[in-house]
């Protein structure tokens, strides 16, 4: 897709400092105000139709609202509500024009007398003073507010006439309301300037609604702004209106009730005004201080953000809506080769290849309208003319009111990433080669028993023609692949509990029949929320080893010698059945569990154990080491040991292993022979008759004492 260039000529909308959330509230207030004003007009018209005095004049002592005034209020409220909608400005302005005309006709009638028989809709004898027609005050306010509703977007230099007109009408309405509160009938009941109480209230609400309909311009922009001025205005303006009015009313009511005279009343008014003024000043100072602290905090955060942007390795560029570069960070200098002073004020098109200029204007136009952020991988031009692959993000910059005031672009050189991706593809190819040619089986499964992937080695191991055939055929590992389904359940339990299994041995069924022994190493696979969903790992065919172990086990179990293993400290770890029988135990397991110190528990003379250990440590082995040991029942036997030292992978002495024979019978035979020989020697030597042992060659081998005395030779002389 071709990438566009930035098009010149588009202008930003007016900037506004009004807070968006306050702007939204203001427009809602304006809409409600329109409804309230229209409702007042409708109620008054109903009062005239039903002759309900409370609807016409509120109180018998107050001025009645003219029906024409009520109609004008209905039209004004409708015009205000429709103007807030935005898309219904034509009906709104038509109603506003009628209101302006009614106000102007009212003023003309007040100056020149009735025209067309008066403006009253229900005769001519209905005004406040029973004189008929629309009072000058009401006519003037309608002219002001109607013009404000008719021309809301008119701007003269820096002023917005609609707001000025609304403020003027609000001043008149507030004056009338205060006059009613103070009982100043000369203000609200005069012949030409009379105004009903609900007329004054409706004018005040209508004026507020007109001001709130334009919350992001003129005086309302200041009131609705997020700065100290806006905050103070929102807090102090109600006080400015209400405090003097309330204090003045309280002073007047107190004086009327006789609580104090004129002088004391004036004093109380001045004192209370001073107190309220002082409190207002203190409140304003506190508010400004707090806002100033917030401003400093915001400036600090802005400074940090600016530092982050400036130090970023990404190219961060700020544009105005014409595509002119307004900010250019260090990352942009590195990426494009332009210094900030070279590029700021120039069009961003200098960084775009010519063949990608056409579509940029479309993107920027979409961004000017607040459209979606653009992310793409594209090509840009450096200062030296070389092209660079970049990952580009283009997005609109909006002010607090949501207006698009600029465009930001963030570019990152992804040449290195592309190289990394290429290396990743190469690594994946190598991994695929390893996966396809591995001697071990490699797999992925779900925990509910489905086979997801298998490599060729696993397929061959289990008798399938291809991995694809194996994956498509096996839908239940426990039932189809495991010789014992319980082994599959145990495997899943261990994977869930520990997250992995090592050297898990079981039997697999081969597709053509028969089984093989395998050893598995696997780890758990987890889903997006961290829950176990599957496993992956490797499989080795250990059938030959298991068969060899079976043969060794047969030899071990049926050997006529005891076979054993111990730790270096003397704890028995392995014993075969003959070993257990030699020492009088019912089973090898019983003996292993019972013997934890061979020197103390088995050796009759612990010194023989120490001698055994020294000999093995010195020479690495011993042969025919004989020791006197205890059996389980406490009886003593003689054994002969052949043993060697066992070392761990780090060359440290780990224990002993060897064989043992029970030589008790042999030791008894040897002892009997020694005793027999001793008895023979004693009988031969001490016999009273001469005795001699003569060899086959006729030589005397041994003579006793009696014979040596008979022949007169010493024993040595006779021998030989």
Tell me what pLDDT residue 19 has.
Answer: 65
Res 392: pLDDT: 84
Cα 264 off chain centre by? 68
Mean pLDDT of 299-328: 79
Residues 6+ apart with CB under 8 A from 66: 119, 120, 126, 127, 128, 133, 134, 135, 138, 196
Q: Is the dihedral of CA 477, 483, 484, 490 positive or negative?
A: negative
Contacts 24+ apart (CB under 8 A), 626-630: 626/663, 626/667, 627/603, 628/603, 628/604, 629/583, 629/602, 629/603, 629/604, 630/601, 630/602, 630/603, 630/604
Q: What is the pLDDT of residue 699?
A: 81
pLDDT (mean) for 107-124: 56
| 466 secondary structure, DSSP code | -
Under 8 Å CB-to-CB from 362, ≥6 apart: which residues? 4
Q: What is the pLDDT of residue 74?
A: 92
The two structure tokens encoding residue 484: 């014992």
Ranked by mean pLDDT, the top range of 34-38, 415-419, 681-685 is: 34-38
Burial label for 537, CB within 10 Å (0-12, 13-18, 19+), is: buried
> Given 3.40.630.30, 3.90.800.10, 3.90.79.10, 3.30.450.20, which CATH number is that of 559-668?
3.30.450.20
Task: Summarize the confidence of residues 449-453 as an average pLDDT.
Answer: 92
pLDDT band of 301, cuts 50, 70, 90 = low
**pLDDT above 60 for 72:** yes
Beta partners for residue 159, in sequence order = 156
Q: Residue 442 has what pLDDT?
A: 93
Residue 720 is predicted with a pLDDT of 55
Region 157-178: what's the mean pLDDT? 86
Q: Lowest-confidence range among 158-172, 441-455, 679-693?
A: 679-693
pLDDT at 362: 75
Q: Are 591 and 603 in contact (CB under 8 A)?
A: no
Average pLDDT over residues 104-128: 57
Residue 2, pLDDT score: 37
pLDDT for position 682: 75
Q: Are 609 and 627 in contact (CB under 8 A)?
A: yes
**Top-level class of domain 438-547:** alpha beta
Confidence of residue 299 (pLDDT cuts 50, 70, 90): low
CA distances for 456 relative to 23, 449, 488, 644, angstroms: 68, 20, 22, 44
Confidence category of residue 27, pLDDT binned at 50, 70, 90? confident
pLDDT tens-digit map of 225-236: 766 667 777 777
Whether 458 shows a pLDDT value over 50: the answer reads yes
3-state secondary structure of 670: helix
More confident residue, 13 or 285: 285
Residue 237 confidence class, pLDDT cut points 50, 70, 90: confident
Query: How many Å apart are CA 92 and CA 98, to the nearest integer?
Result: 10
Do the beta carbons of residue 117 and residue 153 sit within 8 Å? no
Please name the residues in contact with 718: beta carbons below 8 A apart, sequence gap of 6 or more. 692, 700, 703, 707, 708, 711
Closest CA to 249 of 196, 170, 195, 183: 183
For 110, what's the count of Cα atoms within 13 Å in the CB-facing half-sphere? Answer: 19
- Say how far apart CA 174 and CA 202 lie, in whole Å: 11
Residue 621 confidence (pLDDT): 92
Q: Are 660 and 562 in contact (CB under 8 A)?
A: yes
Determine which of 115-124, 249-258, 390-399, 600-609 has the lowest per-residue pLDDT on average. Answer: 115-124
Instruction: Round the CA-based radius of gyration of the chain to a whole number and report it.
Output: 56
CA neighbor of 459 nearest in space, from 481, 431, 475:
481
Q: Under a CB-based contact definition with an 8 Å cutoff, are residues 54 and 208 in contact?
A: no
What pLDDT is attached to residue 400?
65
**Three-class SS of residue 435?**
helix
399 SS3 class: coil
Rounded distance, CA 469 to CA 454, Å? 10
Average pLDDT over residues 285-296: 73
What is residue 376's three-state secondary structure? strand
The residue-averaged pLDDT of 89-101 equals: 86
Q: What is the 3-state secondary structure (H, E, C) of 35-71?
A: HHHHHHHHHHHHHHHHCCHHHHHCCCCCCCCCHHHHH
pLDDT over 70 for what percent of the chain? Answer: 88
Question: Pick the residue with more confidence: 233 or 579?
Answer: 579
For the ranges 26-30, 105-109, 150-154, 451-455, the one whose mean pLDDT is highest: 451-455
Query: Closest by alpha carbon to 120, among 180, 84, 71, 76?
Result: 71
Q: Are the beta carbons of 133 and 116 closer than 8 angstroms?
A: no
pLDDT at 123: 38
Alpha helix ranges (H) inside 88-227 = 89-112, 136-150, 161-182, 185-188, 197-213, 218-223
> What's the whole-number mean pLDDT along residues 373-400?
82
pLDDT band at 567 (very low <50, low <70, confident <90, very high): very high
CATH 3.30.450.20 residue ranges for the chain: 312-419, 438-547, 559-668
pLDDT at 373: 64
* Size of the chain in residues: 720
Class of domain 312-419: alpha beta
Render pLDDT for 629-684 as a digit per residue (tens, 0 to 9). Answer: 999 999 999 999 999 999 988 889 999 999 999 998 888 888 888 877 777 777 77
Q: Could you give the CA distance from residue 83 to residue 62 in angstroms, rounded to a whole number?
A: 33
Task: Return mean pLDDT, the chain.
Answer: 82
The pair of structure tokens assigned to 151 is: 């021309």
* 372: pLDDT strictly greater than 70: no
pLDDT higher than 60, residue 215: yes
At 415, the pLDDT band (50, 70, 90 cuts) reads: confident
CA distance 469 to 485: 22
Contact indicator for 398, 391 with CB cutoff of 8 Å = no
The predicted pLDDT at position 17 comes to: 57
Q: Choose the weakest-confidence range: 200-209, 386-395, 481-490, 518-527.
A: 386-395
Predicted pLDDT at 717:
56
Least confident of 95-99, 397-401, 531-535: 397-401
Q: How confident is the model at residue 270 (pLDDT cuts 50, 70, 90)?
A: confident
The CA distance from 146 to 166, in Å, is 9
| Least confidently predicted of 30-34, 175-179, 611-615, 716-720 | 716-720
* Average pLDDT, integer, range 585-614: 92
Q: DSSP 3-state assignment of 567?
A: strand
Work out the average pLDDT over 553-561: 85
4 pLDDT higher than 50:
no
CB 662 within 8 A of CB 637: yes
Query: From the CB of residue 43, how many other CB atoms can be counted at a distance below 10 Å?
Result: 17
């Amino acid at each position: 897709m071709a990438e566009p260039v930035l098009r010149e000529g588009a202008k930003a909308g007016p900037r506004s400092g009004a807070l968006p959330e306050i702007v939204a509230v203001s427009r809602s207030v304006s809409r409600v105000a329109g409804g309230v004003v229209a409702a007042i007009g409708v109620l008054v018209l109903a009062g005239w139709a039903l002759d309900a005095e409370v609807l016409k004049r509120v109180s018998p002592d107050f001025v009645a609202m003219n029906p024409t005034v009520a109609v004008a209020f209905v039209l004004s409220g409708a015009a205000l509500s429709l103007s807030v909608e935005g898309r219904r400005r034509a009906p709104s302005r038509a109603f506003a024009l009628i209101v302006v005309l009614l106000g102007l006709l009212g003023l003309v009638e007040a100056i020149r007398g009735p025209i067309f028989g008066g403006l009253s809709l229900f005769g001519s004898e209905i005004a406040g003073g029973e004189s008929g027609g629309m009072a000058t005050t009401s006519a003037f306010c309608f002219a002001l507010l109607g013009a404000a509703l008719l021309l809301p977007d008119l701007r003269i230099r820096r002023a917005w006439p609609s707001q000025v007109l609304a403020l003027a009408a609000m001043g008149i309405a507030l004056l009338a309301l205060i006059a009613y509160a103070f009982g100043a009938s000369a203000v609200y009941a005069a012949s030409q300037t009379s105004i009903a109480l609900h007329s004054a209230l409706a004018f005040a609400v209508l004026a507020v609604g007109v001001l709130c309909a334009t919350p992001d311009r003129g005086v309302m922009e200041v009131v609705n702004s997020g700065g100290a001025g806006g905050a103070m205005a929102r807090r102090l303006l109600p006080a400015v209106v209400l405090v003097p009015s309330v204090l003045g009313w309280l002073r007047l009511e107190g004086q009327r009730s006789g609580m104090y005279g004129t002088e004391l009343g004036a004093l109380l008014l001045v004192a209370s005004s001073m107190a309220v003024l002082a409190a207002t000043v203190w409140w304003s100072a506190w508010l400004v201080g707090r806002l100033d602290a917030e401003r400093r905090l915001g400036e600090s955060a802005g400074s940090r953000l600016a530092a982050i942007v400036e130090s970023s390795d990404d190219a961060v560029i700020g544009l105005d809506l014409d595509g002119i570069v307004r900010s250019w960070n260090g990352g942009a200098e590195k990426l494009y080769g332009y210094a900030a002073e070279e590029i700021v004020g120039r069009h961003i098109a200098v960084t775009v290849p010519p063949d990608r200029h056409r579509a940029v204007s479309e993107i920027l136009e979409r961004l000017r309208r607040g459209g979606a952020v653009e992310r793409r991988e594209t090509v840009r031009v450096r200062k030296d003319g070389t092209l660079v692959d970049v990952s580009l993000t283009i997005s609109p910059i909006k002010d607090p009111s949501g207006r698009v005031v600029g465009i930001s672009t963030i570019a990152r050189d992804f040449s290195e990433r592309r190289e990394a991706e290429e290396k990743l593809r190469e690594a994946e190819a190598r991994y695929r080669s390893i996966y396809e040619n591995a001697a071990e089986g490699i797999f992925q499964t779900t925990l509910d028993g489905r086979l997801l992937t298998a490599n060729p080695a696993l397929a061959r191991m289990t008798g399938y023609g291809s991995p694809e055939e194996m994956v498509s055929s096996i839908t239940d590992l426990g039932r189809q692949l495991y010789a014992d389904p319980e082994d599959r359940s145990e495997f899943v339990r261990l994977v869930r509990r520990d997250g992995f299994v090592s050297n898990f041995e079981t039997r697999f069924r081969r597709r053509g029949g028969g089984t093989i022994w395998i050893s598995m190493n696997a780890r758990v696979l987890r889903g997006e929320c961290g829950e176990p969903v599957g496993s992956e790992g490797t499989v080795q065919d250990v059938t030959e080893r298991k068969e060899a172990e079976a043969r060794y086990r047969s030899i071990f179990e049926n050997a006529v010698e005891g076979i054993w293993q111990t730790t270096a400290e003397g704890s028995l770890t392995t014993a075969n059945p003959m070993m257990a029988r030699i020492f009088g135990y019912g089973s090898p397991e019983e003996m292993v569990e019972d013997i934890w110190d061979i020197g103390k528990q088995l050796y009759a003379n612990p010194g023989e154990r120490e001698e055994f250990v020294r000999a093995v440590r010195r020479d690495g082995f011993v042969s025919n080491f004989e020791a006197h040991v205890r059996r389980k029942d406490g009886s003593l036997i003689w054994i002969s040991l052949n043993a060697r030292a066992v070392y761990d992978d780090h060359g440290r002495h780990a224990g002993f292993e060897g064989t043992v024979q029970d030589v008790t019978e042999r030791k008894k035979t040897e002892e009997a022979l020694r005793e027999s020989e001793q008895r023979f020697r004693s009988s031969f030597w001490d016999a009273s008759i001469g005795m001699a042992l003569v060899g086959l060659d006729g030589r005397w081998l041994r003579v006793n004492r009696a014979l040596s005395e008979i022949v007169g030779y010493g024993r040595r002389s006779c021998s030989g």
